[in-house]
Amino acid sequence: MAFPNQRKRINRTSTGIRNLTAETSLHPHDFIAPLFIEGGTNIKSEIPSMPGYYRYSLDTVIHEVKELVDVGIQSVLLFVKESDDKKDNTGAYAAQPNGLMQQSIRIIKAQFPELLVMTDVALDPYSIYGHDGIVDIEKGEIINAVTVEALVKMALSHIEAGADWVAPSDMMDGRIGAIRDAFNVKGYAHKGILAYSAKYASALYGPFRDALDSAPGFGDKKTYQMDPRNRKEGIDEAYLDEAEGADMLMVKPGSFYLDVVRDLSDSSNLPVAVYQVSGEYAMIKAATEKGWLNEQDIMMESLISFKRAGAKVILTYFAKEASKRLINNYPNS
Amino acid at 262: R
Q: How many CA atoms lie within 13 A of 64 on its CB side?
A: 28
Residues recognised as catalytic: 199, 252
Cis-peptide, bond into residue 253, ω within 30° of zero: yes
Q: Which residue in 193, 315, 169, 197 sits closest to 264, CA to CA?
A: 197
Cross-strand bridge partners of residue 167: 120
Whole-number Å distance between alpha carbons of 241 and 239 = 5
Nearest-angstrom CA–CA distance, 21 and 23? 6
At position 116, the amino acid (one-letter code) is L
How far is it, in rounded angstroms, from Cα 324 to Cα 69?
11
